[in-house]
Each structure stands twice: as structure tokens, then as C-alpha cells.
Amino acid sequence: MNSQRTHFVFDPIADKYDRFNRLFSFGIDRGWRKKLVQMVQPHPNQQVLDLCCGTGEVVFSFLRHTLARTVTGADISETMIDFAQEKQIRFSSRPWMQNKTIAWHVCDAAQTGLAPGSFDVVTCAFGIRNVPDRQAALGEMHRLLKSKGKLGILEFSLPAHPLGRTLYGFYLHRLVPRLGKCILGAPEPLHYLANSIQGWHDEANFAAELDKAGFKLIRKTPLTGGIATLWLAHSR
């Protein structure tokens, strides 16, 4: 799916995107994001970037659950960034938002325009499988990271156990479109979600892609029976 097609699928549901994520994952997605930000664990003086940030859930998770004080969120969808900025205003009085700095950028993950070597930590949650040129995006992440900088990727996956995969496949392809249509009112994002997860599982050799981009894989951690996976790497 090209970037224009991704816009077409996700922009119309931006205002319902968070609610759908809660429904789809039964609220577990918040815990996954918390594990992601705690896995990379930035220091207070380090610069953090979340790519494909959507409505900013990982950005705000960094500020809630880690010592990070300066976080940048970047996404190709201006509509998603607009909603992230609205959330920032709503959260502005929260204690965990005090003395924190957030910068938002509308840009392509494969060509951000941000300065090289300007971040200590880069993350991407549920976005890397949607990038048309994944290798270019990983190369951009490597360019943006300082030497030995941390990369954290959170992405959907399929359970390793055959029975678990069968049950999850039924849920993903049959139940999710029906449940989600009640919230989103549009079937296309739901069918795209299921097909993109299946395609990612069938086609991606992500460890090899990380190595090719200049990263050393440190840890791969399945979550919730394998329906999501955390990848931790650092730049060589």
C-alpha cells in the first residue's frame, strides 16, 4: 500500500482511531506501548523520536512512564498529527506533562527531513508494516540515531502455536471487521488491518532487514501469546 492509499484508509477514521485500538486489543495495547517505552528507557537528557506516531499514544506514554522530557512525534498524516496536538492540549494540566517538551512533524518515515544523528532513541509502534519502502524507513531511522542509539519496534504478529494462530485468524478476519464497523462505520480499514498483519507475517524477514539497515538486534519479545512483538536493536 502506498502512502497515498494509507492516507485514504486512515485519515477518515482518525477521530475514532484510539477507540478502535482499545476495542481491537481489549485495552491491552496501552500495556504494549508501556512495555515499548520502558524497554528503550531513555534518560532525562536524551532526545526521543516516535515515527508513525499517529495520534501520539507512544509520545504520551514516554512522558507518563519514563524519565524522558523531550519527545518528537512524526507521522505522514497531518490529520493524525492534528488529533495528537488536540490531545496534548487536553493533557497539558496533567502532572506527568509538566516541564515536558513535545515537537510534532508531518513527514514521510523514509524521508523525515530531520537532522542526522539527532536522537538517542527512535521508536515505531504498529507503523513499520504500513511503510511502502520499509528498508528506506529503517535506513532513515539509522541516519537519525546517534551511534549506539536504541531502536524499539512494536508490531502486530501472529501466534506461533497453530491453534492460537487459527483462533486469532478467525477473530482477525471475521470478528474484527464486524465489531469495528460498528465504531468506524467503514469496512476498508478493518480488512486492511487483517491483511496487512497477515502479509507482514508471511513476507517480512525483519531481523535481516534490521541487519541490512545497520542495526544489531538485541532482543525479540512476543507479547500476549504472540499477537504483538517487541524488537529492540541498537545502531552499529
What's the whole-number mean pLDDT along residues 145-162? 94
What's the whole-number mean pLDDT along residues 194-204? 82
∠ CA 161-155-217, nearest 5°, is 90
What CATH topology corresponds to 3-235?
A: Rossmann fold (3.40.50)
- Judged by average pLDDT, the poorest of 14-18, 33-37, 67-71, 194-198 is 14-18
What's the whole-number mean pLDDT along residues 148-162? 94
What is the spatial distance between Cα 49 and Cα 113, in angstroms, rounded to a whole number?
13
The pLDDT of residue 58 is 98
pLDDT tens string 65-120: 999 999 999 999 999 999 999 999 999 999 999 999 999 999 999 999 999 999 99
The full set of domain ranges for the chain reads 3-235
Percent of the chain at pLDDT > 90 equals 67
**Is 112 exposed, middle or buried, given 0-12, 13-18 or 19+ CB atoms closer than 10 A?**
buried
pLDDT band per the 50, 70, 90 thresholds, residue 194: confident
- Judged by average pLDDT, the poorest of 44-48, 66-70, 179-183 is 179-183
Q: Which residue has the higher pLDDT, 58 or 191?
A: 58
Is the pTM here over 0.75, yes or no?
A: yes
